[in-house]
Amino acid sequence: MITDRWQKSSYCQEGDACVHISTDPDGVHLADSDTARTVVTVSPVAFAALLDLVKSL
């Protein structure tokens, strides 16, 4: 399911309070660290909607 390729948010400051994203054919995986055990997986469509919402705030 989860790949080794986590990408940290470009808006992340120094420290551990960052969003990490990984993708694979099953969806987009979101976590608060690249070694997180808790991961939220969403479809690409749902992730795009999330990004649109965040950008509108």
Q: Is residue 2 part of a domain?
A: no
Domain count, the chain: 1
Show the domain range for 42.
Answer: 7-56
Distance CA 38, CA 13 (A): 21
- The whole-angstrom separation of Cα 43 and Cα 15 is 28
Q: What is the pLDDT of residue 3?
A: 59
Asked if residues 9 and 18 have their Cβ atoms less than 8 Å apart, the reply is yes
Q: Is 33 exposed, middle or buried (0-12, 13-18, 19+ CB in 10 A)?
A: middle
d(CA 6, CA 49): 21
**For the chain, what percent of residues have pLDDT higher than 90?**
30
Considering the domain boundaries, does residue 22 fall inside one?
A: yes
Model confidence at 42: pLDDT above 90 = yes
